Structure 1
Amino acid sequence: MSRLLRAWRARVDRASIPELRGPGYRSRGRLSQADVARLTGVSEGWYRALETGAHRDFSDAFLLRVAAALHLNETETLTLFLGISGRRPPTDPPPTHTTLDPALLALLRHQAPHPAYLTDAAWNVVAANAPMAEWFPWVKGPRPNLMRWGLTSREAREQVLDWEESCARVYLAMLRVASCQDQGNTELQELLREVLAADAVCRRIWAEGYEVAEHHDGRRFRLRLPCHQGAEVLVTTQMFLPLQSPGLRFVIVTPLTP
């Protein structure tokens, strides 16, 4: 990490930084450790400790100021945080996806004949391919939401076999993790309140209060859907996180041979 910090500092031209212009300051050459300390509002010794690899409790705010002073890009800032603190830099809330990436939508369509869909952080279904709409027509309705459908609808109880164990407990375990992880997501918190207010079985499961799950990737579900004329179908789900669309989940439903 020390070598990277020195290299990043060496490539910055002092003349490009207005804060370092003026009487008493040299206007040419590369940044010194003292320059970076001035730009980040710390002592030269404190910044030197960072660059030499000394163990300190460097705050996120300080590391972000270092990243700005050294003109680091997003990947370099990530490397700085991981190398110094072992954690990722703080991020803004995921953006609201009013316009979906056309390439992502094309990929969704290309999953046919397998159902596939996109959800946001609160499990709103923001896009679905034709097979998904055929299997689960509710995705074409107003405000389609995976958790709301799976936990509160009579349809889900009829179509997902062994509903309480394979669906309700799994989905509530996912909500338990998400509600702790994203406490500032008011839509997610309201969804949880709505589910618990609507269903006594969900309230009972929630009150047990110990099952947790981050996702349903690889889970198996036994379904009996009208589009299959009532025949039982065993499926698994695979979930992917598109790096260019943070906050979205890309899920494919794949039939399995029993």
Structure 2
Amino acid sequence: MTGARADGGVPDPAEDGESISRLLRAWRMRVDARTVPELRGVHPRPGRLLSQRHVARLTGVSEGWYRALEAGRRQDFSESFLLRVAAALRLSEAETLTLFLAVCGRRPPGSPCPAGELPQGVRNLLVQQTSYPAYLSDNAWNIVASNHLMGEWFPWVLRPGANLMRWALLHPEAREQMLDWEDSCARVYLAMLRVAANSNPGDGGLRALVREVLDSDADCRRIWAEEHDVVEHRDGHVFRLRLPYHDRAEIRVTSHVLLPIQRPDLRFVFITPLPD
């Protein structure tokens, strides 16, 4: 139970969990127990107040276990339990995020926002980027959208089913256009695939992509077996390119990787040339 410190000061919410305790109580109190189907037939019949005992019943734990959560006491609360609490208290996406961050310091499992059409703001930002090539890709590096300049520099993004990893690691033109292909491209991209494959073990699409790359190319298999490096993203990575768009003159570029707050399941990447 929280309260004033012995010295008369106000308790630190970060230390004793007072903040999440107060929020949990408020969220519970706003739920009318009479509207919860799972509590129909419970004796004694619940009134309007949703009690801690009711929430414990709805989430399949003891009343003491739920009480520990609401009191802000540190326990080994599982993600599945916190998700059941969120459902029982009818929490919004932002409220569920707050619960997870306060209790275990991480986001809820799964995508933080549903996939679907691109938010208009993100689409506008991409289209209106006229100075540099830019594109959006998903977690498996499928090209979701690209601007006009990206299509001119890299026409492969306009092909059906365009995928950065398939093009960069498996397409012959990538080895002509990306100089120092093995060291500057293949080793970096395979290190990124290694991170993705281990961070999303349940993603069948990612597993299939890794398998396709390794099954299709002997160089990639050799590098995969030799290397143990891991790379999360290519932000700030420098490439040397020789593209038809630039009459095959060598240029140096760097990539910038951003996560749109409305669709953090996507990567917003734009490419800027470096001075000679």
The two structures share one fold, judged by TM-score above 0.5? yes
Find the residue that maps to 2:272 and give its secondary structure. Answer: strand
* Residues 208 and 83 (structure 1), Cα distance of their counterparts in 2 relative to 1, 3 Å cut: same
User: Is 1:164 aligned to 2:182, yes or no?
Assistant: yes
Contact 1:95 1:246 in 2 (8 A): no
Find the residue that maps to 1:210 and give its secondary structure. Answer: coil
Find the residue that maps to 2:55 and give its secondary structure. Answer: helix
Partner amino acid, structure 2, of 1:172? L
Partner amino acid, structure 2, of 1:90? P
Residue in structure 1 matched with residue 79 of structure 2 by the alignment? 60
User: Is 1:25 aligned to 2:72, yes or no?
Assistant: no
Partner amino acid, structure 1, of 2:63? E
Residue in structure 1 matched with residue 256 of structure 2 by the alignment? 238
Q: Structure 1 unaligned runs (5+)?
A: none
Distance 2:203 2:113 in 1: 10
User: Is 1:37 aligned to 2:56, yes or no?
Assistant: yes
Q: Give the TM-score normalised by structure 1.
A: 0.91
Distance 1:126 1:213 in 2: 22
Distance 1:129 1:192 in 2: 27
Distance 2:112 2:71 in 1: 33
Aligned mate of 1:113, from 131, 144, 157: 131
Residue in structure 2 matched with residue 194 of structure 1 by the alignment? 212
Q: Structure 2 unaligned runs (5+)?
A: 1-19
Residue in structure 1 matched with residue 222 of structure 2 by the alignment? 204
Distance 1:162 1:76 in 2: 48
Residue in structure 2 matched with residue 223 of structure 1 by the alignment? 241
Distance 2:201 2:56 in 1: 35
Q: Between Structure 1 and Structure 2, how many residues are aligned?
A: 256
Aligned mate of 1:184, from 202, 211, 223: 202
Q: Deviations over 1:98-124 (max 9, x none)?
A: x43343222111111210111122111
Find the residue that maps to 2:57 and give its secondary structure. Answer: helix
1:54 deviates by: 2.4
Distance 2:112 2:27 in 1: 28
Q: Deviations over 1:13-64 (max 9, x none)?
A: 3333244455522423x32222222222222211111111223222222211
Q: Give the TM-score normalised by structure 2.
A: 0.85
Find the residue that maps to 2:131 and give its secondary structure. Answer: coil
1:94 deviates by: 8.0
Distance 1:53 1:102 in 2: 40
Distance 1:41 1:140 in 2: 51
Distance 1:93 1:11 in 2: 24
1:96 deviates by: 5.9
Bigger CA drift: 168-177 or 34-43?
34-43
Partner amino acid, structure 2, of 1:189? R
Q: Deviations over 1:157-197 (max 9, x none)?
A: 11111111111111000011111112222222222222222
Bigger CA drift: 178-187 or 166-175?
178-187
Find the residue that maps to 1:56 and give its secondary structure. Answer: coil
Distance 1:105 1:189 in 2: 29
Find the residue that maps to 1:103 and give its secondary structure. Answer: helix
Distance 2:206 2:130 in 1: 30
Q: Deviations over 1:213-233 (max 9, x none)?
A: 011111111111111112221
Identical residues among aligned pairs (%)? 62
Distance 2:123 2:80 in 1: 37
Partner amino acid, structure 1, of 2:53? A
